[in-house]
Amino acid sequence: MKAKFFTPVFLLAMAIICSSCATSGLFTSAHITNVELSESNYKIVAKNVNGEAEAKYLLGFSGAFRGEMQTLALVRIAGEGLLYQQAMENLWKNFETRHSQTIEGRKLALVNVRYDSDALNVLLLYTKPKISIRADVIEFGD
């Protein structure tokens, strides 16, 4: 009798666990463009521009593993799942706000990019992953 009860409960628990939210906050990519910065064909237009993003989840855990922010949780209650993308968009918005200029049509690039991650975990009941991106902005001339 116990085995018949245990099987449906076990299957239900596994279904709930396997249907949870999982996210990685870091976008890793390979760069195939080479830029020569030894010539005077650029100027630094902003230093230490930053962008941040965070999310909040119930019943989960977040942590930085191998340089990436990883989250495993059941319910997102705030924020977006694409933390790196949101932080990068916030970085460019902060640049536009700080310099009262748009980025459209300009030859801009990020250099000296720094990435930091942090997570608040409360007994597997609540987790708040956060990432920050800081960079210098350069503009290429003709």
Kindly report, residue by residue over 47-77, the tens digit of the pLDDT: 999 999 999 999 888 887 777 788 888 888 9
CA distances 17 to 22, 30, 75, Å, are 11, 33, 11
Concatenate the DSSP letters of all residues of 29-88 into one string. ---------SSSSEEEEEEEEEEEEE-EEEEEEEEEETTEEEEEEEEEEES-S-HHHHHH
pLDDT in tens, 77-112: 988 778 889 999 999 999 999 888 788 888 898 999
What's the pTM?
A: 0.69
Determine the Cα–Cα distance for residues 52 and 120; give it in Å rounded to an integer. 15
35 pLDDT more than 70: no
Q: Tokens standing for 31? A: 């760069």
